[in-house]
Structure 1
Amino acid sequence: MHHKLLALLALCLTTFLYFGVPWRHAPISYSLPAGVTAANATLGFGAVLAVSRPQSPRREELLFAANLTGVEITIPLQPKWTDADVARLKADRGSKITRGSALAWLGHLNALKWYGNLNTVLFPNFQEARLTRVHRYRFLESGLETALILEDDVDWDIRLRTVEVPLVAKAFRKLLHSDATYWADLSQWEMIHLGHCGDIFSADKFKGMPHERFVDNTLPPLKRMHTKTQAFLQRLGFGEYERMIHRSSWPLCTFGYAVTQASARRISTELAARETDGGKQAFDVRTLEACRDLGYKCYSANPELFHHTEAPSEIAEVNQGTDEHGRLQAQSTDVTPNIACGARSKQFFTNDKATLDFLKMEVGEKGHCLLDEMEPDRSKWPWVI
């Protein structure tokens, strides 16, 4: 009798969680093609690192999304940057970098070097009150061959690990004609831009560009994409639910980018150790120049897999404004550009462990996007990169 009662309670809890939360649409899920399996917890890289200062208000949502989708994120501990640190980063002549952009730049360099105490952040309550591991080595000396670096305000689709990354990695291996590792021959690339704010170029340039095109049904319909992305894909002759991996052309924004040990060393010592004379507005402008002008071997997933959430950026909070690209402009809408079912959606967020366990199974593992039937038509929302 006792076992029957427990089974009944479990059934009631599952029914409540499924029908009691504010989701009404039938679950929608996607499966991988034959021969393709879900990526591991670090998405096929040696580590997934987040650029995040201590006490960042963005960490809780980042960690929730990681926990929901089974992604293991490590946050290298950043020192408290001083005026002297900022001064050392600035060019001697013609500096253009703002303090906010300088702090972000230093955060990326810290992740590329990756040393000191590290927090492994897959806790059920999303807190970093305790250190679970202490490392005293740099990424460049760690033995790890690759790392994916994310900014702490990025969002991604709930099927990132189970569908999207496996499809992109498979296409990338095909493009480079290499199965040497999950991400092909590491000597053939230096940066893979999986998150950016639009690597957009002309149709004429696309004709001779190395690329691999494939179907990805986790993408939103074209009409629901950012208007610039929609126009770009249509200009290239792309239809619904098509993605590609290609040689980078204009990969602005560093929402999510992969590096190898060799390229991390090159970026942190040769390319972006400090602002060049004449000035650079931001770290991402400098890395764009590396891909566009300096012969770095860079590739981009298009549309992107990571995009920043529509919330005020920390750079803007420091600078009290945005740069001329508008890349940091805050939005009030609860949607992430070019992401069909964002893992950071406020509809998913919960501090209740039982609900979280249910969501990890239904949303993270099975890929069911449980949408509120009262949600506004996303195609009408004004997305601005």
Structure 2
Amino acid sequence: MLLPTRYFAIPSASSRLAALKPKYLTIIAIVLFFLITGSFIHIQNPDRIHSALQRLPGTDAYAKFATPAKLARNQTLGFQEIFYISLPFRTDRQDAISLLSSFTGIKSTMIEGVDGGSVHPKGKTIASNLNPGAFGCWRSHANIWRKVMDEDIETALIVEDDADWDVNIKDQLFRISQGVLSHTSLLDNQTAYTRKDAPYGTDWDLFFIGQCKSTPPKEKSKIGPVIAVEDPSILPLKKLESKHVSELKAYNITTSSTRAIARVHDTICTTAYAVSRRGAERLLYNWGYKDFGLGIDNEFSFGMNDGKIKGVVVAPPLIEQWKTGTGADSDIDAVAGAASGERLGSEGGSTRNIKNSARKAMKEWVKWQKKR
């Protein structure tokens, strides 16, 4: 299925440099030297796309969304809160998330995960036939949806404790914000909050940045535009897992260094997604107040397909599971009694689709800190 795709391109360095006088080239060379040698985390420079964005149809000037876009680089990545879920006994994963957050300048709050086997029968939905691990996963997420409602939180990013992300995640999300804010189709139902403080808008219930895979809606009328954002911090297509290459092709993206932002019909995994306040209400009503019987990621997919909730996805994802072995390290499989195999420990893990893994970079970062 070929979808309408909207690009904003970064002007080539050669075309811009050719228009400059030699004396200015010397100044630029000196500035670039100090920027590159004096920075460890800030590898990419998304400011290069400002001029290109000003020429986008429908965006009179970049200044219209400069303020909310820059919030993508704050400690909560432009969301009001970041919560991560971790079972109380997974202190190994809690240590890892604390290190990862400190390393990349992110502020996150732990929410205790729920052991599904310990939930009283009356606390379970009548139709649920989930195993204890999957049920505990749902209840852990549902507790955050309720917290978002109770504390009147406009947007919250929910991350599971086996996550990994790129050292440039703030710059990556800055680009995503510029893409979202440049396209009015993702900015319906604007409020004073969204115009000033929402770098990704809030016209969504779920905003996926950590799915295992996604597919667009089956009905063309529900697809809407696909925004293609150039991002040099993505792995080349030939190095991405085939599932993410297929994911991009479904959104008509066939070139490297490009992400898609689009309405989504189907997703797998809940490694990292944001929820709006309105979305939290809809989630808790449909999968809490009402009965359900599938894993929460499957329920999300059916809900988006049926029009119960509205989802937006970034593909390929910015956040991915850090695999530290086989099913032996999965809290869902372990609780269900299906876990087997070898555990490798945090340091022995890996992610396959992140170019500059923050977990892998922590070792060098600690060495650098010692020398300061």
TM-score (norm 1): 0.68
Alpha-carbon spacing, 1:330–1:195, altered in 2? closer, same or farther (3 Å)? farther
Indicate the percent of aligned positions where both proteins have the same amino acid. Answer: 22
1:299 pairs with one of 301, 307, 312 = 312
Counterpart check, 1:102 vs 2:111: no
Question: 1:334-361: CA deviations, max 9, x gaps?
Answer: 431321111122x524895x744779xx
Tell me which residue corresponds to 1:172. Answer: 180
* 1:266–1:216 distance in 2 versus 1, CA, 3 Å: same
Cα separation, 1, equivalents of 2:355 and 2:321: 14
Structure 1 residues 297 and 208: CA distance shift in structure 2, 3 A = closer
1:262 corresponds in structure 2 to 278
Residue number in structure 2 paired with 1:341: 356
2:215 pairs with one of 189, 200, 205: 200
Residue 142 of structure 1 is matched in structure 2 by: 151
Structure 1 residue runs of 5 or longer lacking an equivalent are 1-17, 19-25, 115-138, 323-327, 360-385
Deviations 1:279-330 (A, max 9, x none): 21x11111222112234121000111111111332111112337xxxxx999
For 2:305, the aligned partner's letter is R
- 1:48 matches 2:82: yes
Aligned pair 1:66/2:101, yes or no? Answer: yes
Q: Which residue of 2 aligns with 1:271?
A: 286
Provide the C-alpha distance between the structure 1 equivalents of 2:359 and 2:272, rounded to a whole number of angstroms: 16
Inter-CA distance 145–254: structure 2 relative to 1 (3 Å threshold): same
Q: Distance in 2 between matches of 1:206 and 1:215?
A: 26
SS of aligned partner of 1:271: helix
SS at 2:350 equivalent:
coil
Who is 2:338 aligned against? 321
Whichever residue aligns with residue 348 of structure 1, its letter is M
Task: Work out whether residues 89 and 273 of structure 1, in 8 Å CA contact, stay in contact via their aligned partners in 2.
Answer: no
CA distance in 1, matches of 2:364, 2:138: 32
Q: Deviations over 1:144-194 (max 9, x none)?
A: 311111111111111001x111111121222335471433542x2111011
Q: Secondary structure at the match of 2:139?
A: helix
Distance 2:226 2:318 in 1: 16
The amino acid across from 1:142 in the alignment is E
What is the SS of the residue equivalent to 2:45?
A: coil
Q: Distance in 1 between matches of 2:214 and 2:123?
A: 27
Report the CA distance between 1:91 and its aligned residue: 4.1
Between the aligned partners of 2:83 and 2:349, the Cα distance in structure 1 is: 25
Contact 1:213 1:242 in 2 (8 A): yes
The answer to whether the Cα contact below 8 Å between 2:162 and 2:322 also exists between their aligned partners in 1 is yes
The higher-RCO structure (CA 8 Å, 6+ apart) is 1
1:82 Cα deviation after fit: 5.9
Q: Say which of 232, 242, 246 aligns to 1:227.
A: 242
- Which amino acid in structure 2 is aligned with residue 99 of structure 1? P
Measure the CA separation in 2 of the matches of 1:289 and 1:171.
27
The CA RMSD measured in Å over matched residues stands at 3.4
Question: Cα distance 1:329–1:160, how it changes in 2: closer, same or farther (>3 A)?
Answer: farther
1:33 aligns with 2:68: no
CA 1:330/1:292 → structure 2, altered by over 3 Å: closer, same or farther?
farther
Deviations 1:191-226 (A, max 9, x none): 101110110359995995432111011101111111
Rounded Cα–Cα distance in structure 2 between residues aligned with 1:265 and 1:293: 17
CA deviation after TM superposition for structure 1 residue 42, in Å: 0.3
Aligned length: 297
Residue pairs, 1:3-18, within 5 angstroms: none
Q: Closer, same or farther in 2 for the Cα pair 1:223/1:88, shift >3 Å?
A: farther
Q: TM-score, normalised by structure 2?
A: 0.70
Contact 2:214 2:266 (8 Å CA) reproduced: yes
- CA distance 1:284–1:245, change in 2 (3 Å): same
Alpha carbons 1:200, 1:250 under 8 Å: kept? yes
Secondary structure of 1:195's aligned partner:
coil
Residue 362 of structure 1: aligned partner: none
Read off the aligned partner of 2:230 and give its amino acid letter: V
CA deviation vs aligned residue, 1:205-248 (integer Å, no higher than 9, x gap): 59954321110111011111111212443563420101011001
Task: Kindly indicate whether the alpha-carbon contact (under 8 Å) linking 2:116 and 2:134 is maintained by their aligned counterparts in 1.
Answer: no
> Residue 159 of structure 1 corresponds to which residue in structure 2?
168
